[in-house]
Structure 1
């Protein structure tokens, strides 16, 4: 699944092509994704100009003067920018065409993504209203995590992966941040000190910033034949390295299942 850094990379990739352009045509080939694409999407969008391309959690928001297109890429989706006409493939479910011949094409093999039209304030939509703070914002602090964790027996890794607590900390990035903060991912969230939560908040920011930078540097041309950014191109210290030596102490990285997710950590460095 595309995580926050990948979605941010996509946002940065498509923004120069579509911001300020007017929608000329909308083609929907597969209306039934995770949620049905609105039947009136074309009439809502045609003639509208994209004023901003934003991200909230893992959702992309294409804001116009009359409403907002919410895009979610689900488990396998991605967007491509086409500057020349190209025949759609089997899983190319929708095109948004713009002035100047630009086309934004949604490909989603598993069809778990979404294209939804929102009237009014997007922040009030049910998909967005209950989300926690952005991890790169000033709202995410160690003090905030400490207060939210009091009395919680839930392990700290699923705690920071809860989008109601903080958005965008996926499985890979949670493992990496906890390693940097020196925190055992299975430790109860309510038993971690304020000092350690302050360290963890900073580690989350560092890992995500590095991942965004890595995605950006591997994205040579968002309108190329493939169109996929280079996911997870950053150097991972624990995730996927079960049995390999820890880069700090040399002990073997351990792999466990935690909250039905693969979790990697160092028993020596993380307490």
Structure 2
């Protein structure tokens, strides 16, 4: 599933190229998770101003309104000249034709979404964005606020990170990596993590996610950015998908457990409750 680094890498790969483009047409394929919210032809004539990210959502700001894009479980975006893309296939569910190229959403499992909202304060946008936590790569992500959020929850820390209400974007792959870097057990109740370990965790979140963005995200199966380039962070993962292999720090075999139907990889020796 594309997580924050993959979404941010995708944004960076096409945001400068589409900024200032005029929308010439839009095409919808098979229905996605939610309806677009207006007729595709109503987008014609609007200008694309910028592309932002909030959590795992991409926000395409237009001269009138915005589009919220989510990649779901298996989605990816491509941005290319009209003659640089093949005709839409079965899994190509949205094309935005602009004066500077075509933005296409490809999603085999159709859990992705393209939703129109009049603005970020629109109830449609607030339903999707209103409960999202702090952005981990922004200055507003403060250690004190993060620690306070930990102290307010008894949820196991791995599941709290995945929930997205305290901090957004620490998805399953990166939560395992972050907790290993911070030397904290994924089973530790959040409110048992003291100030020193909380600061280690805070720093690990920022460091691991920033490194993943620099590596182009993680490609386990089919993720690629809007230029078609895969990510490489998986090559430096220390625990994710390494069950039974030796820990890079202590050489003990790494373990895997299930938490909320998600796989967690960790070292029982290095990561303490």
The verdict on a shared fold, with TM-score over 0.5 as the criterion, is yes
- In structure 1, the partner of 2:59 is 61
- In structure 1, the partner of 2:11 is 11
- In structure 1, the partner of 2:99 is 99
Q: Deviating runs (4+, > 3 A) in structure 1?
A: 216-223, 231-234
Matched, 1:72 2:73: no
**Contact 2:48–2:62, Cα closer than 8 Å, also in 1:** yes
**Contact 1:15–1:53, Cα closer than 8 Å, also in 2:** yes
Instruction: Label 1:167 to 1:216 Cα distance change in 2 as closer, same or farther (>3 A).
Output: closer
Cα offset for 1:151? 4.9
**Contact 2:48–2:60, Cα closer than 8 Å, also in 1:** yes
**Contact 2:32–2:112, Cα closer than 8 Å, also in 1:** yes
Cα offset for 1:142? 3.2
Please state whether the residue corresponding to 2:97 is helix, strand or coil.
Answer: strand
Instruction: Label 1:239 to 1:233 Cα distance change in 2 as closer, same or farther (>3 A).
Output: closer
Cα offset for 1:56? 0.5
Equivalent-residue separation in structure 2 for 1:233 and 1:255 (angstroms): 17
Bigger mean CA deviation after superposition, 32-41 or 203-212? 32-41
Please state whether the residue corresponding to 2:104 is helix, strand or coil.
Answer: strand
Gaps of 5+ in 1: none
Cα offset for 1:11? 0.3
Matched, 1:204 2:195: no
Please state whether the residue corresponding to 1:215 is helix, strand or coil.
Answer: coil
**Equivalent runs, 1:1-271 vs 2, <5 Å:** 1-30=1-30, 32-43=31-42, 45-85=43-83, 86-100=86-100, 102-121=101-120, 125-215=126-216, 222-223=226-227, 227=228, 229-230=230-231, 232-271=233-272
Please state whether the residue corresponding to 2:215 is helix, strand or coil.
Answer: helix
Bigger mean CA deviation after superposition, 135-144 or 242-251? 135-144
Number of positions where the alignment pairs a residue of Structure 1 with one of Structure 2: 265
TM-score scaled by length of structure 1: 0.91
Equivalent-residue separation in structure 2 for 1:151 and 1:38 (angstroms): 37
Equivalent-residue separation in structure 2 for 1:206 and 1:40 (angstroms): 42
Cα deviations across residues 157-195 of structure 1 (Å, max 9, x unaligned)?
111222111100001111111111110110111111011
Instruction: Label 1:90 to 1:10 Cα distance change in 2 as closer, same or farther (>3 A).
Output: same
**Contact 1:211–1:234, Cα closer than 8 Å, also in 2:** no
Equivalent-residue separation in structure 2 for 1:205 and 1:238 (angstroms): 18
Cα offset for 1:37? 2.2
Cα deviations across residues 115-151 of structure 1 (Å, max 9, x unaligned)?
1111122586210011111011223233222211225
Equivalent-residue separation in structure 1 for 2:142 and 2:113 (angstroms): 31
TM-score scaled by length of structure 2: 0.91
**Contact 1:161–1:174, Cα closer than 8 Å, also in 2:** yes
Q: CA RMSD in A?
A: 2.1
**Contact 1:33–1:113, Cα closer than 8 Å, also in 2:** yes
Please state whether the residue corresponding to 1:130 is helix, strand or coil.
Answer: coil
**Contact 1:68–1:122, Cα closer than 8 Å, also in 2:** no
Cα deviations across residues 199-236 of structure 1 (Å, max 9, x unaligned)?
1010000000010010179999844xxx2532644500
Equivalent-residue separation in structure 2 for 1:82 and 1:228 (angstroms): 13
Cα offset for 1:38? 2.6
